[in-house]
Amino acid sequence: MHISEKLKAIRAAEGLSQSQFCKIMGIPISTLKKLEGGHNEPGWITLTTLTQHHQFEKYTLWLMTDKIAPEAGQIAPAVAHSGQTETKSHQSGSNVG
């Protein structure tokens, strides 16, 4: 999954419109559209803001490594639109999502 798809998945899992997500993140909607469209890669400041925000920090490990650690509060968003309905932890084998 590309970073553009991951950003969309996080936003969708949190039930946020593009406008709401941009307000929380402090970025212009044009920037988000470029990121979600795969035209730009997020920079360090955007990634840091996202991964350190209390609402989104639970996705940090998944966003950066494609791994989860539910025992540490690190999960993947449910991505029903692409067929993924649950994810298994690589460490514990527990279902998440």
Q: What is the CATH number of the domain that holds 28?
A: 1.10.260.40
Structure tokens at 38: 């795969």
| Average pLDDT of the segment spanning 7-33 | 97
Q: What span, in angstroms and rounded, lies between the C-alpha atoms of 49 and 57?
A: 9
The answer on pLDDT for 82 being more than 50 is no
> Which domain range does residue 77 map to?
3-96
pTM: 0.78
Q: Give me the number of domains the chain comprises.
A: 1
Q: Which residues of 20-55 are buried (b: 16+ CB within 10 A; e: fewer)?
A: ebbebbebeeeebeebbeeeeebeeebeebbeeeee
- pLDDT digit string, tens, across residues 21-45: 999 999 999 999 999 999 999 999 9
